[in-house]
Amino acid sequence: MTGMRKLLIYGDSNSFGTAPMARIGISPAHPKGSRWGEVLAGELANEWEVVIEGLPGRTTVHDDPIEGAYRNGASVLPAILHSHKPIDLLVICLGTNDLKLRFSVGAQDIALGLARLTREALASGTVGKVLLIAPPPAKERGDLAEMFRGAETRVLGLADAIERVAREEGAAYFHAGGVIAVDEADGIHWSQGAHATLGRALTPVVRGLG
């Protein structure tokens, strides 16, 4: 890996590779090598080392009273950054889980949570640059519809809000919803084809930040 730059993906189940769910409690995963981060790594072979830190249920800044406090992306971030330093580019793809009914937050608060993660990452001395990815809009579908009740309203304006905080915090920005959409089966997770599309779409973006 000598001479290669390091990219760390900090995300949730869609970075982990969870496939669309038929029902709660069943967590299917896409085949190894097909996650968007792995597709990106393949495209950037011999240029970037790509590390994927995707945790299903991860939020931006919230302890989850049902799924566990360790889902809080802010509290875990420092340990992960220092475990992988130095990091040339930190890619943060979070925000979807904040739309769960239990958190009752909207687009502005989600974006402000991402702003906090960006500031803390850049201040840590472990990260060179940050890229914020706005996830595609969530939908209320299938067995996850009740958990995400109201998400289609709360998600309105999220991409614009994330773009604004990225600009204010000195981060780069990419709207995943411009190239992919959530799967209709559960309204949250992405198909294998969407993962491939996103990984390829991000390739020139990352190269441009190198």
> Measured between alpha carbons, how far apart are the two ends of the chain, in Å?
16
Question: In the CATH hierarchy, which top-level class contains the domain 5-209?
Answer: alpha beta
Distance in angstroms (rounded) separating the CA atoms of residues 58 and 95: 9
Where are the domains positioned within the chain? 5-209
Tokens of 177: 């919803």
Cis peptide preceding 136, ω within 30 of 0: no
Please count the other Cβ atoms lying within 10 Å of the Cβ belonging to residue 4: 14
| Residue 2 CB contacts under 8 Å (≥ 6 apart), including other chains | none
Q: Residue 74: what residue type?
A: A
pLDDT at 27: 86
* The token pair that represents 169 in the structure block: 């915090």
Structure confidence at residue 1 (pLDDT): 44
Kindly report, residue by residue over 51-75, the tens digit of the pLDDT: 999 999 999 999 999 999 999 999 9
Average pLDDT over the chain reads: 97
Q: Which structure tokens are listed for 86?
A: 């130095």
pLDDT in tens, 78-123: 999 999 999 999 999 999 999 999 999 999 999 999 999 999 999 9
Around 119, how many Cα atoms within 13 Å sit in the side-chain half-sphere?
A: 11
Model pLDDT for residues 3-53, shown as the tens digit of each residue? 799 999 999 999 999 999 999 988 899 999 999 999 999 999 999 999 999
Distance CA 151, CA 102 (A): 11
Condensed to tens digits (0 to 9), the pLDDT of residues 117-138 reads: 999 999 999 999 999 999 999 9
- Give the span between the Cα atoms of 49 and 146, in whole angstroms: 39
